[in-house]
Structures are given as structure tokens and as C-alpha cells.
Amino acid sequence: MKFMQITFGLVSATEVAYYAYLFAMISSDRYKIITSFTRAATLAGRFAAYLTGQLLVSFYTMDYHQLNIISFVSVSLAFILSLTFKRPQHSYIFQTEEKHVDKQDFVEIELKKIGISTSEENSNGHKNTLKRGFVFLLRELKTLYSDKTVLIWCCFWAFASCGHLQVSNYIQNLWEVISPAKKGTIYNAAVEAFGTIISVLSVLLFGFLPTNWSRPGISETTMAIVCFFNIVVLIIMAQSTSIWVCYAFYSAFRATYHTVITLATLQIAKSLTKQRYGFVIGVNMFISLSVETLLTVTVVDKAGLHVDVRTQFMVYGGYFGVIGCVFLAAAFYAVYKNGCSYKVNRTAE
């Protein structure tokens, strides 16, 4: 399990690099289509992997060790393919263009605050270029998250991804408790494949729904509804004694997650005025994995509560409940604030 977590950390880092590379190589007007294509490609790859694994195991063609070899070969081929990609130039973050005088002045002031003079910075070359980039990243972080739309969708992305990762990591343990593998044929991979297809269909269907996300409180309400739905799903899964019921609700859980995360991706991309998408993904992923680590240590690890898997899923349901209450309160506040603004404007007229 520990080795799996280390590997997962490396994969998460490459995912950030993957999206950062894509959005560094394209113009901002293509964010929406690239977001859709990359999400579809990722889900299609997972579907192929799950389906292939299930068929090979069900027909006793390969064992789990041989499946790991296939995974290793696939990753190796992907690595070789990545070497053929066009290399981007230095990130926009680390470029200093003379026409951006205000940014240059800001960076020089911040460098002086941390004890670096302009002459020293010029003499030390790349070392201070990294420091310049770090200061600029801090400024970008403040600028990006000052946008309410970006902030709220990023918060949901980070915390929802944490919950999804935690459920995905321990769902196999729950299935083993409900229906031990020794008692008969298991269809775990087939369920993962089915859940992936449902996710793709729900994402495509959701893309055609004409929803005005700029209306006050609509985003927060949607997030709250999704969280409350996850509460019901996770509690039923935790208490169920039927593996098929658990399979069905897990598929619903996955479809809901991928649909809303795709929506979050599009909303964030549309709100960004600069090519900072990879940076935002990195920050979101860092927050998500940090919260997941805390949740794992508290609930799963022997140093913490170390509860059984059914209780774990009850806790995960409560986790989404807390998030849902926060977003519901945010929705009420947004509607109330908009109502007050409307009354003030009417009075002024």
C-alpha cells in the first residue's frame, strides 16, 4: 500500500505536468475544447484498461502479475512517446518582457524585500530567475484566487477530488468485505469500466444543458447538491450487504464526480485571463493531496482512529456533508447579497 501511494504521488505530479504542458502550448481561446478532449482521452484510456483487465482475468488468460507487466509496458511506451513532443520555451511566468513595466517594477520591489538587489540578481543568473519566478507566482496566486469564480470552483475541485481519491483508494477493500474474492468471480474492473462510460455520457450530456452559471448562488447550490448526493451514496455503500448495490452506487458516485469536475475545469478555464491553468491545477492538486493525507492519517492509519472499512465510508459521507453545508451556506449568502444589492439599486432609482 505504501509503495502504491508513492507511485500515485509520482503519477499525480506527472498529471500536473501534463495539463501544464498542454495549456502552455495552446492559446487561451482553445481552453474549452482542449479541456473536453483531455478529459475524454483520460476516461477512454481508463475504460480500455478496466475492460481489458476484466476480460483477461475472467477468461483466465492472465493473472494480476502479468497485468502489472502490461501496465509497466504501457507507461514505458507513453514515456517514449512524450520524448517526441515539441518542447515549450521558458514558461511565461519566468519571462520578463520590458513592455510589462508594472510587473517588472513589482518584482524588483519584492526582490529587494527579500534582500536581493537588481545588480545581484543580474549577476547570479538562473538562480535569481527562479527567485523572480517564485515572487511572480505568489503574485499570480493572489490575483487568481481573488476572482470569486476561480476561488469557489477551485475549493470544490480540491476537496471533492480528495474525497473521490479516498473512496477510489479503499473501494476495493469495501468490496472484499461485502463479497470476498474467494467466494466467486469478481467484476470489479468491469464496474470501473462501466462507471467510466457512464461518466463520459454524463459529461457529454451535461455539456448540452443550457445553464446560466453566472446567476448568484447557482454554482454553490450545485456543489451542495452534489455533496449531499454523495452522502446518501456513501452511506448506502457502507451499510449494504449486496455487492451489486454497492457497484451501482459507486458508478453513480464516479459519474457525478467526473461530471462536476469537468464543469469546474471549464468554469476555471473561462475565468482565467492568462495562461495559468497548469499553475492552478498544481495548487488544487497540492491542496487535495494534503487534505487526503490528513484524512488517511486520521481515519485509516494505525496512528489515528484505524477504523474498519465500513466506518471509513461513513466518515467519508460525513466529510462530504461538511463540505455540502459550507457550500449551501455560501449559496444562501450569495443569494442574500444579490437581493440586498437589488434593493439598493431599486432604492437609488
Polymer length in residues for the chain: 349
Per-residue pLDDT of the chain (349 residues; tens, 9 = 90+): 667 767 777 777 777 777 777 767 777 667 666 766 777 778 778 888 888 888 888 787 888 888 889 988 998 998 898 888 887 765 555 554 444 444 455 455 555 555 555 555 454 555 566 777 777 777 777 877 888 888 899 999 999 999 999 999 899 999 999 988 666 667 887 888 888 888 777 766 665 565 666 777 888 999 999 999 999 999 999 999 999 999 999 999 988 898 888 788 778 877 765 556 667 878 888 899 899 989 999 999 888 889 999 999 999 999 999 999 999 999 999 888 877 765 555 565 5
Predicted confidence at residue 59, as pLDDT, reads 82
Could you write out the three-class secondary structure of 146-170? CCHHHHHHHHHHHHHHHHHHHHHHH
Using CA atoms, how far residue 267 sits from 174, 211, 303, in Å, is: 34, 12, 39
User: Nearest-5° angle of CA 298, CA 303, CA 308?
Assistant: 65
Domains of the chain: 2-86+147-348 (1.20.1250), 92-141 (no CATH)
Q: Where are the beta strands (DSSP E) in 115-256?
A: none
pLDDT reported for residue 275: 56
| pLDDT value at residue 308 | 94
Nearest partner of 235 among 155, 305, 175, 318, judged by Cα:
318
Alpha carbon separation from 137 to 142, 278, 309 (Å, rounded): 9, 12, 40
Most distant pair of Cα atoms in the chain: their distance: 76
Amino acid letter, residue 122: N
Which single residue is written with the C-alpha cell 490528513? 294
Exposure string of 56-78, with b = 16+ CB inside 10 Å and e = fewer, is: bbeeeebeeeebeeeeeeeeeee
Q: How do the residues of the chain divide into helix, strand and coil, expressed in percent and rounded to 5? A: 80, 0, 20
The C-alpha angle 6, 163, 214, rounded to 5 degrees, equals: 125
pTM as predicted: 0.76
C-alpha cell read off for 222: 450545485
CA distance 222 to 327: 9
